[in-house]
A = this chain, B = another copy of it.
Amino acid sequence: MMPGPTPVPEAALLALAKHPIGHRTKQFSEILAEVTANLKWLHQTENDVLMLNVSGTGAVEAGIINFLSSGDRILVGANGKFGQRWVEVSQAYGLNVETITAEWGKPLDPSVFAQQLQADTQKQIKAVVITHSETSTGVLNDLETINRHVKEHGTALIIVDAITSLGVVNVPVDTWGLDVVVSSSQKAYMTPPGIGFVCVSAKAWEAYQTAKLPKYYLDLGQYRQAAAKDTTPFSPPVNLVVALQVTLRMLKEEGLEAIFTRHERLKNATRAAIKGLNLPLLVEDSFASPALTAVVPQTIEADKIRSFLKQRFDLELAGGQDHLKNKIFRIGHLGFVSDRDILSCIASLEVALAELGYTNFIPGAGVAAASKVLSTAVDS
C-alpha cells in the first residue's frame, strides 16, 4: 500500500519474466506502436507521448529542460518534496526561478499564480511548473484553475508533474491544453519503476526549437524522431515495456471513467476510516489526492505504526519525508489496489493502533466507516 512502487498485477509480473527481445526488431516495434497508442488514450491526447528509460525525476527534468534556455524566468509551485525538487532541477540549469510555495499539506493558491502572470505584461514568464498530485503530502493542486491563468497569460507553457495524478484523476490533456505532462511507470500504470513518460504539445515543440539548455540522453527531439518510426533512440528497458503493454490493456478495458471512480471511492473509504478512528488527516477533504492519504497519528510515532504493520502483517506504508518524517504515514491507494485492500489495510491499522496503546477509537470503527463508503459506492 505504497504510493510507489505500487502493486503490480500478476500478468504484468509474468510478462516481465519473458526473455528480452531485440529492441531493433519488428516485433518490438509493434509493441511500441500499441503501447504508444494506449498512452495517448490514457492522456486523452493527440500529442506525442514519449517513453524514456528514467525515473519520474528524470522525466520531469526532461519536461523542463527541453523547452527553456538559461536565464528564462519560470514559476514553480512548491508545496511538498516534489515541487521543491522541480525548483532544484530548474536552479541546477540556471533558470530564473520564482518559487510559489504553500505549507506542506496545503494546496497551492491559484490566485498567486494569477497575480504573477497578469503582472507579466512583458511576457517574460516562459513556463509554469505544477505538481498536480503532491505525493509527499497527498494534496491535489488545482491544476485546472492554475492552467486557466496560464492560458490567459498566453505565452507561458504549462508543465505538469502528473506522476500520481495521471490514470488516477481526470487529466484531459487536449481539452485543458496542457503543454508538458510527465508521469512514470511505478504509479497508476501498475508497472515497476523504470519508465518515465513525457507528453508534449505542438506549442511546447515550438519552444523546443529555440531552447538552448544542453541535453543529449534527455533530448526529447531524439525520442520524437525515433518514435515516428516506432523505435527508440537508445536501448529501452524492454522487459518493462512488455509489462506495460499488459497493464495498459487492463486500464483500457476498465475505461477512464471507471478508473477515476475507483480511485475516488478508495480515497473516500480511506478517509472515512481514518476519521472513524479519530485520527487527523494531513490534508483537507476539498483538495485531497485520490492517489494517497497522509495520516498524522500525533500521540504515536508514525514509524512505529509502519514497523508494526510491516512485521506483523507484511504491510508496507510510506513514511513522511523531511520535516514530516515520523510525523505522518501515507497510505497509497493508486494503481492496482482493490476495495478489499483498503479494508485489509484499515483492519490491520486498527490492530497496530491498539497494540501501540492508542485508545481513542472503538475497535472496528475504521473498518465500518470504510465499508459504508464502499457499499454505498457500489449500490449507487
Q: CB within 8 Å of B: which residues of A?
A: 2, 4-5, 7-8, 13-14, 16-25, 53-58, 61, 88-89, 92-94, 184, 186, 192-194, 213-219, 233-240, 310, 316, 318-319
The interface residues of chain B lying within 8 Å CB-to-CB of A55 are 53, 217, 234-236
| Interfacial chain B residues near A8, Cβ < 8 Å | 19-20
Chain B residues with CB below 8 A from A233, complex form: 57
Asked whether, in the complex, the Cβ of B58 is within 8 Å of the Cβ of A217, the reply is: yes
> How far does the Cβ of A226 sit from chain B's closest Cβ, in whole Å?
12
- Nearest B residue to A13 via CB reads B17
Q: Is the CB of A22 within 8 A of B7?
A: no
Centre residue among A8, A20, A219 by max chain B CB count within 10 A: A20
How many Å lie between the Cα of A20 and that of B332 in the bound state? Answer: 15
State the Cβ distance, A160 to closest chain B Cβ, in Å.
18
Q: Which of B18, B192, B219, B319 contacts A237 (CB 8 A)?
A: B192
Give the 10 A-B residue pairs with the shortest CB-CB distance, closest first: A194-B237, A17-B17, A58-B217, A5-B20, A55-B234, A55-B235, A193-B235, A57-B234, A192-B239, A20-B192
**Interface contact A22-B56, CB-CB below 8 Å:** no
**Given A93-B216, A217-B57: A193 and B236 interface contact (C-beta under 8 Å):** yes
**Which of A13, A192, A240 has most chain B Cβ within 10 Å?**
A192
- Of A7, A93, A215, chain B has the most CB atoms within 10 Å of the CB of A215
Residues of B with C-beta under 8 A to A235: 4-5, 55-57, 184, 186, 193
Given A58-B54, A193-B20, A194-B53; A214-B92 close (CB under 8 Å): yes
Contact B88 A20 (CB under 8 A): no
Q: Closest B-chain residue to A2, C-beta based?
A: B22
Bound: A7/B4 CA distance, A: 29
Asked whether A193 lies within 8 Å of B53 as measured between CB atoms, the reply is yes
Q: Are B19 and A16 in contact (CB under 8 A)?
A: no
Cα separation A17 to B214 with both chains bound (whole Å):
37
Q: By CB atoms of chain B within 10 A, which of A2, A54, A239 has the most?
A: A239
Contacts of A219 in B (CB 8 A): 92
Given contacts A16-B16, A57-B217, A184-B235, 15 further A-B contacts (CB under 8 A): A5-B20, A5-B21, A7-B19, A22-B316, A53-B54, A55-B235, A56-B234, A56-B235, A58-B217, A61-B217, A89-B216, A92-B215, A194-B237, A213-B214, A237-B240
Q: Which residue of chain B lies nearest to A62 when distances are taken between CB atoms in the complex?
A: B217
State the CA gap A126–B8 with chains docked (Å).
46
A to B CB contacts below 8 Å, 18 in the list: A5-B235, A5-B238, A13-B17, A13-B19, A16-B16, A17-B17, A20-B192, A20-B193, A21-B316, A22-B318, A24-B319, A57-B235, A61-B216, A61-B217, A192-B239, A193-B237, A193-B238, A239-B239
